[in-house]
């Protein structure tokens, strides 16, 4: 055999996914989000892990109009026959600017514990992180929000659920303490945003920081379904895609280059 995978395979009478029989073990027993967990950890989530993951992914699934969802709608205008292309178009903006912080927070927290071990107290560790980031000229990811000030309601809710389900662990605690000290240093309350909270909780769920962003991308794909649906429901002319384009077209000043 030339190639190998643990993901899945099919034979005449059954389908295997990560060592499970798809129809006997998974279909009807687990949620869609659990399939992503299965891909990441190669085991089924516990009930609490499933609840936590679904909560995290629900929290970042829908944001109304965003650059991504507008892109999905504009793409739908030109290619209504290919909804997969509309959804893909919206996913393509899920890069460093909006979602990168999720990965960066998980990375910062995980590498901090790898580097300094588990024995320092959280307060001292947080001070170290702030000092190291400052010396390196780096910002702390996961802080600040243009709308939700001084609190992001998703952060509050997700940390609360994490506490109830047993995932408010050392990474979440460290981020909370970094945030507390950061606000003292700044002399004002800066938002600890949802993307930061999710990065910390995923670290506490023992998800490698390198795969954290993939979960967010999958959640976005689910959220973009609603935008395709709304374009279909409103019809082409009344749809937001066409309306936004019409507005831009009729309110653009073409700057002539003088030659």
Per CB under 8 A, the list member of 45, 49, 70, 202 interacting with its own copies is: 70
Residue closer to its own copies, measured from CB, 39 or 144:
39
Q: State in angstroms the smallest separation of the CB of 137 from its own copies.
A: 14
Residue 235 DSSP symbol: -
Stretch touching its own copies by CB under 8 A, among 113-121, 123-131, 148-156, 174-182: 148-156
Per CB under 8 A, the list member of 115, 188, 237, 251 interacting with its own copies is: 251
**Between the CA of residue 131 and those of 103, 125, 182, what are the distances in Å?**
21, 10, 11
The answer to whether the CB of 161 falls within 8 A of the CB of 53 is: no
Check residue 169 for interaction with its own copies (CB under 8 A): no
Binders of its own copies in range 199-218 (CB under 8 A): 208, 210-211, 213-215, 217-218
Radius of gyration (Cα) for the chain, nearest Å? 22
Beta bridge partners of 21: 16
Check residue 85 for interaction with its own copies (CB under 8 A): yes
Compute how many residues bind its own copies; rule: CB under 8 A: 126
The answer to whether the CB of 138 falls within 8 A of the CB of 229 is: no
Greatest CA separation for the chain: 72
- CA atoms of 131 and 125, how far apart (whole Å): 10
Check residue 129 for interaction with its own copies (CB under 8 A): no
Residue closer to its own copies, measured from CB, 100 or 181:
100
């Amino acid at each position: 055999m030339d190639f190998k995978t643990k993901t899945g395979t099919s034979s005449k009478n059954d389908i295997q996914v990560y060592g499970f029989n798809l129809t006997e073990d998974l279909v009807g027993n687990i949620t869609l989000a659990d399939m992503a967990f299965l891909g990441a950890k190669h085991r089924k989530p516990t009930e609490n892990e499933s609840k936590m993951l679904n909560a995290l992914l629900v929290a970042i699934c829908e944001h109304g109009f965003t650059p991504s969802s507008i892109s999905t709608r504009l793409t739908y205008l030109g290619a209504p026959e290919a909804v997969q292309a509309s959804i893909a178009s919206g996913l393509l903006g899920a890069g460093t600017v909006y979602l990168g912080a999720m990965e960066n927070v998980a990375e910062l927290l995980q590498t901090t514990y790898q580097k300094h071990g588990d024995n320092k107290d959280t307060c001292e560790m947080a001070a170290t992180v702030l000092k190291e980031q400052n010396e390196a000229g780096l910002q702390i990811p996961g802080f600040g929000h243009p709308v939700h000030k001084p609190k992001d309601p998703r952060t509050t809710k997700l940390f609360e659920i994490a506490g109830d389900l047993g995932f408010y662990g050392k990474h979440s605690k460290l981020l909370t303490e970094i945030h507390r000290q950061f606000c003292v240093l700044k002399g004002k309350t800066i938002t600890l945003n949802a993307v930061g909270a999710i990065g910390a909780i995923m670290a506490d769920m023992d998800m490698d920081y390198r795969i954290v962003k993939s979960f967010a991308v999958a959640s976005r794909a689910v959220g973009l379904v609603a935008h395709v649906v709304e374009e279909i429901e409103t019809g082409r002319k009344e749809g937001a895609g066409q309306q936004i384009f019409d507005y831009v077209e009729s309110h653009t000043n073409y700057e002539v280059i003088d030659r």
